[in-house]
Amino acid sequence: MKKKNIKTFFRRLSQKNPKPTTELNYTNNFTLLLAVVLSAQMTDTGVNKVTKKLFSLADSPEKIVRLGEIKIKSLIKTVNFFNTKAKNIIKLSIILIKNFNSIVPKTREELQTLPGVGRKTANVILSVAFKKATIAVDTHIFRVSNRTKIAIGKKPIDVELGLEKIVPEKYKKIAHHLLILHGRYVCKARNPECYKCVVNDLCLLKKKIFITVPKILEYRNCNISKIKQSIELLKKN
């Protein structure tokens, strides 16, 4: 994508969503850290359901340790890999108490010393908690970047480094959430909603799906299978 189009790309996303932010619920940097750790291979909605109770009981490393692994497992049992995540939550809490005075560290290197915290999780914390210009490449950002061709890469790190080079300075601190939310609600993995995309004319995806509002209204009384068939036909054209 051309440089001038990249600027327009992020300007339009920003105009559509002026104050993008995480959809994970949290009360402080520590609970944000736990929420992000729990969100691995989970939806934010699913995480928010379990953290509501968890955070009401424990919102600090000391309280988490006192709560104990068995209790934590019972509270997060609907989360994928809850056994491993419960162990990591206890371990990272102990490390925060011993090595960081119970304060969530502000560098990627320090964050990645915590169990369950990889580069992506660390980047989310840096972006949300400390307003750093980092981009955590999740499945949404990876898809949007490759699909639109703003940053192409076979691995998340390739896309991350590519985005760091091309995102205009003005949008560096919000690019992470602009791309995630665009991928989550518009540029979806299956059946991207190109018809309501504000950057569809800039996107380099060859086969876009355009369904006009009148066409959607026309489908109101159709069954789901007929709608799916119509979408597949549009994909082929």
Per-residue pLDDT tens digits for 102-152? 999 999 999 999 999 999 999 999 999 999 999 999 999 999 999 999 999
Cβ-based neighbour number of residue 187 at 10 Å: 23
The CA-based dihedral angle spanning residues 203, 178, 5, 164, taken in that order and rounded to the nearest 10 degrees: -110
**What does the block give as tokens for 118?**
């990889």
C-alpha radius of gyration, the chain, whole number: 20
pLDDT at 237: 44
Question: Catalytic residue positions?
Answer: 120, 138
In sequence order, which ranges of 76-174 are alpha helices (DSSP H)?
82-99, 108-111, 119-128, 139-148, 156-166
Reported pTM: 0.83
The CATH T-level fold of domain 29-128 is: Endonuclease III; domain 1 (1.10.340)
In sequence order, which ranges of the chain are alpha helices (DSSP H)?
3-16, 29-38, 44-57, 61-67, 69-75, 82-99, 108-111, 119-128, 139-148, 156-166, 175-185, 213-218, 224-236
pLDDT at 1: 80
Band (81; pLDDT cuts 50, 70, 90) = very high
Domain boundaries, the chain: 29-128
